[in-house]
Chains A and B, each alone.
Chain A
């Protein structure tokens, strides 16, 4: 069974249209959602989290429609919306203490385990954290309530290469433990390093949704890297 199913998502803005976006996410897989800035990645992710209301389309998690089962579904998903920081002057311990009361599956041992593993000091405030540490704290909150799927909007954006590498390794570790990871990025090397599946969006439409190797087989020309392929495809879409 698919963990998440997005069908025919459409959202019209005065200067942008998200057109008929459909894809599915599976347990224990990392899906990289690639596209240039403004391609529709954040609108898609915000729709998946019910922060944005699509004009048409259907979003289902664990076989249930998001509409009408929002609270139940959000118990089982984790999220990070880019580099936004919550409550910049509150201690991490305070944010966690408040958050945990909303989750039925919250596990303090798991929380402490990941705080230690990610080197996070809960006496600090988000204001005192680097971008990478903020993303890690979001991950800790998600993992502590045993999220079955992580939805992350550009988690590697703004990170130095070392932090990015570290974060991608964490994704791989989570994937191996059965969690579905869905992350958007405009950095192709992120996909090279850890994605199992590639979802490529351009100008508000899904261009490809394939296994990484199948994507290469279908679109890459001889000697091309994945980055070359996507850049060529994006240039082609711009000229179309």
Chain B
């Protein structure tokens, strides 16, 4: 497992993917749809898949003395690693915005979603969506990128929903500042984390089955 991940990091990854982790810091931006940073991170991961396709990476990997499902596992491990490192960056920013920065006027007057635990849960949901739609779809052919277009459509619909949901009467608490409505916020984060896990597992199983069947 370590060897295939190392292969992904050394040979397959685009440097852009690593650089785009920095977009996690966009959670600092006031008056900006913070969930777009999640999209930029997934865009960076997509760049690695483009890179890998041009470098004949999947054929190279399939010829290594490993099972074909381990080739898929390598891609998922790498993707999840980038997502979770980005998530850690976003979490650090959210922690700052929940504590020392919670009363800053620029954040208080923000018309869009506040960077709170709900935003982190929504971020995980979006990462899960990427894994479910793009990764799962990619391994049906191992060369077509049409599933990335599908992901973009779904991701932007989800971003619009999450950014605006606090305007729905009775749902204002999802946009809480600091540690207000903490149990609700934690619950939403856990729901986001669970959807990430479920989406990724479902997608991984589907991708293994698809990749086993296709001709390279």
CA distance in complex: A71, B67 (Å): 6
Q: Is A56 at the interface (CB under 8 A from chain B)? A: no
Assess the A98–B65 pair: CB atoms within 8 A: no
Task: Please count the residue pairs between chain A and chain B whose beta carbons lie under 8 angstroms apart in the complex.
Answer: 65
Mostly, the B contact residues are: helix
CB-CB < 8 A to A81: which residues of B?
59, 63
CA distance in complex: A51, B63 (Å): 8
Contact partner, B216, options A52, A89, A97, Cβ 8 Å: A52
CA distance in complex: A89, B52 (Å): 12
Q: Is B140 at the interface (CB under 8 A from chain A)? A: no
Q: Is A231 at the interface (CB under 8 A from chain B)? A: no
CB-CB < 8 A to A87: which residues of B?
11, 55-57, 60
Contact partner, B213, options A53, A75, A79, A94, Cβ 8 Å: A53
CB-CB < 8 A to A79: which residues of B?
63
CA distance in complex: A73, B67 (Å): 11
**Known contacts A51-B215, A74-B63; is-contact A102 B3 (Cβ 8 Å):** yes
Assess the B11–A94 pair: CB atoms within 8 A: yes
Q: Is B73 at the interface (CB under 8 A from chain A)? A: no
Q: Is A108 at the interface (CB under 8 A from chain B)? A: no
CB-CB < 8 A to B68: which residues of A?
50, 70
Assess the A102–B64 pair: CB atoms within 8 A: yes
Assess the B11–A90 pair: CB atoms within 8 A: yes
Q: Is A107 at the interface (CB under 8 A from chain B)? A: no
Assess the A51–B216 pair: CB atoms within 8 A: yes
Question: Which residue among B6, B67, B215, B216 has the maximum number of chain A CB atoms within 10 Å of its CB?
Answer: B215
Q: List 29 A-B contacts (CB under 8 A).
A: A46-B216, A49-B63, A50-B68, A51-B59, A51-B62, A70-B68, A71-B66, A71-B67, A73-B65, A74-B63, A74-B64, A74-B65, A74-B66, A81-B59, A84-B56, A85-B56, A86-B55, A86-B56, A86-B57, A86-B60, A87-B55, A89-B55, A94-B10, A98-B6, A98-B7, A101-B6, A102-B7, A102-B66, A103-B65
